[in-house]
């Protein structure tokens, strides 16, 4: 287990794989005891319990030929949501953004196999995997940096584009900051909706980061380009915000990720960029205890 710092919080990341090593298991419980109001009493109550029923495993979505793309995306989102957001204090799956896409897809398969709670970045990797069989859907990373009471928060979803409409897949503590139906006519409409939802949570959106469309080839050795265009909301007017969203959208509609990457390199060379805008196993009883801990942590 390693501790990675994100803001003022330390996040425990499982780097040992599965089944969970005893030291990982113990550190997870110690971390949970510091986060949960029930402390050790809560921990001992779950760990010492022999009567916790096994948690049913969510089934990955299966598609029918007569289903529309929006219906398929909704099935994907329902599956991601059934895994639940991870409140345990331990990130079960290590995500290294710089790894080739094929390696990230191996992590996605592990997420499906283990069926443990996940956080937003893990949900994005899973969404990329589950949409890889939908060639008409372009998925692109969509990340937010926000401020609440002088604390900085980061969140990411997978933006999706199909047949002239935008939407999003993902997972969050807040239901309004993850799935967005494939109904938004412009990228600006989608981002404005997310911005409004953040405002409803009393967060100020400082920056939005757009990545390149992700390949549908799960064996690709290329890394996902998580950062392509930055939008700093404090720097531009609403009109300028729309213009820059339109600039990205036009590229998205007419080009592949490779073409967009090459175009960006050409633009950078000319020094003109898109302007910134304002116990020992994860199965059986072990999984059940993790899930019970997770439900307790969500309160």
Residues designated as active site: 120, 155, 172
Q: Which of 135, 165, 153, 139 is nearest to 225 (CA)?
A: 139
Q: How many CB atoms lie within 10 A of CB 87?
A: 19
Q: How many CB atoms lie within 10 A of CB 52?
A: 15
Quote the tokens at residue 190: 């989608």
Region label for 271, one of left (φ > 0), alpha (ψ between -120 and 50) or beta (otherwise) = left
Quote the tokens at residue 131: 């949409």
Which DSSP string do the residues of 154-186 spell out, in sequence order?
EEEEEEEEETTEEEEE---SSGGGS-EEEEESS
How far apart are alpha carbons 55 and 185 in whole angstroms? 40
Q: Which of 113, 31, 116, 51 is nearest to 290 (CA)?
A: 116
Quote the tokens at residue 98: 């710089």
How far apart are alpha carbons 277 and 232 in whole angstroms? 4
Q: Which of 79, 276, 54, 64 is nearest to 178 (CA)?
A: 79
């Amino acid at each position: 287990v390693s501790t990675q710092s994100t803001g003022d919080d330390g996040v425990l990341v499982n780097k040992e794989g599965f089944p969970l090593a005893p030291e990982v298991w113990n550190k997870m419980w110690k971390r949970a005891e510091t986060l949960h109001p029930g402390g050790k009493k809560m921990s001992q109550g779950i760990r010492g319990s022999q009567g916790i029923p096994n948690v049913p495993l969510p089934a990955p979505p299966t598609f029918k030929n007569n289903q529309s793309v929006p219906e398929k995306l909704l099935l994907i989102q329902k599956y991601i949501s059934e895994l639940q957001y991870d409140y345990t204090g331990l990130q079960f799956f290590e995500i290294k953004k710089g790894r080739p896409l094929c390696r990230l897809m191996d992590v996605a398969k592990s997420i499906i196999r283990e069926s443990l709670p996940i956080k937003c970045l893990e949900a994005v990797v899973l969404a990329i995997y589950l949409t890889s069989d939908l060639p008409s859907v372009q998925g692109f990373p969509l990340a937010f940096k926000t401020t609440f009471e002088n604390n900085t928060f980061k969140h990411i979803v997978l933006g999706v584009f199909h047949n002239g409409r935008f939407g999003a897949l993902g997972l969050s503590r807040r239901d309004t900051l993850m799935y967005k139906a494939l109904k938004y006519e412009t990228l600006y409409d989608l981002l404005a909706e997310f911005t409004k939802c953040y405002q409803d949570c009393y967060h100020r959106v400082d920056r939005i980061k757009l990545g390149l469309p992700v390949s549908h080839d799960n064996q690709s050795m290329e890394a996902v380009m998580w950062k392509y265009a930055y939008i700093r909301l404090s720097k531009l007017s609403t009109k300028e915000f729309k213009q820059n969203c339109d600039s990205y959208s036009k590229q998205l509609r007419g080009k592949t990720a490779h073409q967009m990457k090459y175009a960006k390199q050409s633009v950078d060379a000319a020094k003109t960029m898109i302007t910134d805008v304002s116990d020992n196993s994860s199965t059986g009883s072990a999984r059940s205890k993790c899930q019970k801990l997770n439900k307790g942590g969500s309160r």
